[in-house]
Amino acid sequence: MASENEEVDGAAILAKSLKSQGVEYMFGIVGVPVIEVAVAAQAEGIKYVGMRNEQAASYAASAIGYMTGRPAVCLVVSGPGLVHAFAGMSNAMENCWPLIVVGGSCDSNQEGMGGFQEYPQVFTAKPFCKYSARPSSVDRIPFFVEKAVRQSIYGRPGCCYIDLPGDMITDKIPLSHVSSVKRCPDAPVMLADPSSIKKTIDLLSNSSRPLVIVGKGAAYGRAERAVREFITSWNLPFLPTPMGKGVLPDDHPLCVSSTRSKALQEADVIILLGARLNWILHFGLPPRFHKDIQIVQVDICVEELGNNVYKWLGLVGNISHVVHQVSVKMIFLDGYILSWWKFLKNKMKTNQNTFQKMISDKSSPLNYYAVLNEINNMIPDNSIIINEGANTMDIGRVMLLNHLPRHRLDAGTFGTMGVGLGFTVAAAIWCRDHAPNKRVVCVQGDSAFGFSGMEIETLQRYNLPIILIILNNNGISFGIDEESWSSLESAGDLTLMTPPTSLKPNTPYEKMMAGFGGRGYAVQTIHSLQHSLKDALNHTNQSSLITVAINPLAQRKPQDFFWLTKSKM
């Protein structure tokens, strides 16, 4: 038992405070002045994962926040270390995921003198987070940690920053002087206004073409049971957003993802569950949506209601509880007619036939649909899928099915490229500790892989048996073939001749994984893909990287509207 006069330093106080608030993981890169913080965290039982870049570390920590509902920590050094982490902080804010970033800073007695990596960190971090502060003294560190945790998970979740000068990390005070702060409880439950519930029932009762959109807010809010009961009880068609996939299985008979554009265009009432009317949903505006659409927004954030649209009804509260409020008051949908389902099913059948033609084309060089379909068929249904890239991600949103909530991680609301391997490390660490029977499968484009490719060393260092599949089309969205590249090389200055979208053709990325002790495979045919992926799945104690050669000119299927809405509507 600690004596009354025992002294403890700031690093230990911080670590104890984080542990008492339920923090389980810390990702980062150490250096002056935060090495002691990482050591103290490990001493308290917080698992420290050393990454190769602060961006990837911040992405990893934010992914834990999304998957668990409680923040992880990204630990960074002063100045440039924090600046690199702004990428993940921005991504967490835009995706509404809890994250705590702890940054070291120069000693307080050197401020204004040009100290090592001196930077106005508390001030500069503010635009990237909900709360940015420096503890006023060593003994007050627990107060600021609790406040950061609370801010990160209450209301609309987001990022918080805690700044610690080097002298505060190493200064010691008597243990008896340290303030005691209780663990911050989970966010309190909020229910919607009963009068708004009644208006929602009236809207649905008079609707002939209802549609439910399931957003990642429903996944984050663990609303899958309530949402499933609501949709299936009333036979409602639903459309998941990219990370809303899996709240109900993508292969559910009521899912209308394969006719996304027509469902959005023709619906007369949309129930929006934890999604925003931003670019992913074309701002809720015509021509992507019906001009007379009525939208019911279920959201935790009051300020989000009515954004971009005029005919809306807001239900503010926790999604699972609000959906239950609606469900228990539902009556027979008199206006709900079978012609709506007949229309949707006809469109789905037409689109599925188009998909099938592309899936059936297994000629080399391969197309995205054939490859992604094979991956989808072979990986276990409970896999956590990380999907990143241009065509790789956009087509993967359709072809890679999710059967469980919070089992898909991609570029998200911010459209951030480079998140893939940070997310993969986080998912693999979490699965190792909490769901060892799950596989983590990361499907990336070659350009996306390049942002944080060195994190494969992190995967190997911690013995994380993920499967990484790179769909290599030699470029960003599209590339060029080997013959065209050779012509460019002989034609003159490559900085003037090389198309801006192109990367070096046929780069053997699989050799990087092999170089770190993992398994590498090069694939050019469907048969080779089947063999390689089967072998990778059988190796449950080693990471694997499969490079799949994709036709550099392969694109999406023709469609009415792309995910990205152009400025000219």
**Does the pLDDT value for residue 560 go beyond 50?**
no
**Is the distance from CB of 78 to CB of 137 less than 8 angstroms?**
no
pLDDT per residue as tens digits for the range 486-529: 888 888 888 888 888 889 999 999 999 999 999 999 999 999 99
Task: Please report, as a single letter, which amino acid is at residue 124.
Answer: T
Portion of the chain with pLDDT greater than 70, in percent: 96
**Integer Rg of the chain from CA:** 25
In angstroms, how far is the first alpha carbon of the chain from the final one? 68
Token digits for 268?
């007369």
Edge-to-edge strands of the sheet including 384-388? 408-409, 384-388, 440-445, 467-472, 544-549, 519-523
If you average pLDDT over residues 544-564, what whole number do you get? 76
116-136 pLDDT per residue, tens? 888 899 999 999 999 999 999
For the cut 90, the answer to whether the pLDDT of residue 10 exceeds it is yes
Domains in the chain, please, with CATH?
7-177 (3.40.50.970), 194-348 (3.40.50.1220), 361-549 (3.40.50.970)
Label each residue of 174-232 as H, E or C: EHHHCCCCCCCCCCCCCCCCHHHHHHHHHHHHCCCCEEEEECHHHHHCCCHHHHHHHHH
> What is the CB neighbour count within 10 angstroms for residue 534?
10
Q: How many CA atoms lie within 13 A of 288 on its CB side?
A: 20
Q: Tokens in use for 300?
A: 């935790």
Task: Tell me which residue has tokens 């919607």.
Answer: 192
User: Do you know the residue count of the chain?
Assistant: 569
Taking every pair of Cα atoms in the chain, the longest distance, rounded to a whole number of angstroms, is: 78
CA distance 274 to 300: 8
Q: Report the pLDDT averaged over residues 175-196.
A: 93
Within 267-337, where are the H helices?
319-329
46 pLDDT higher than 60: yes
- Binning the chain into helix, strand and coil, the percentages to the nearest 5 are 45, 15, 40
DSSP code per residue over 227-265:
HHHHHHHTT--EEE-GGGTTSS-TT-TTB-GGGHHHHHH
Q: pTM for the complete prediction?
A: 0.94
| Contacts (Cβ under 8 Å, ≥6 apart) of 349 | none
Whether 368 has a pLDDT exceeding 80, the answer reads yes
Dist. CA 80–CA 76, nearest whole Å: 9
Helix axes 194-205, 319-329, angle to 10 degrees: 60
Check if the beta carbon of residue 56 is closer than 8 Å to that of residue 449. no
Whether residue 483 has pLDDT greater than 90? no
* Among the listed residues 413, 73, 119, 375, the one whose alpha carbon sits nearest the alpha carbon of residue 243: 413
* pLDDT confidence of residue 365: 92
State residue 333's pLDDT score. 59
pLDDT at 330 over 90: no
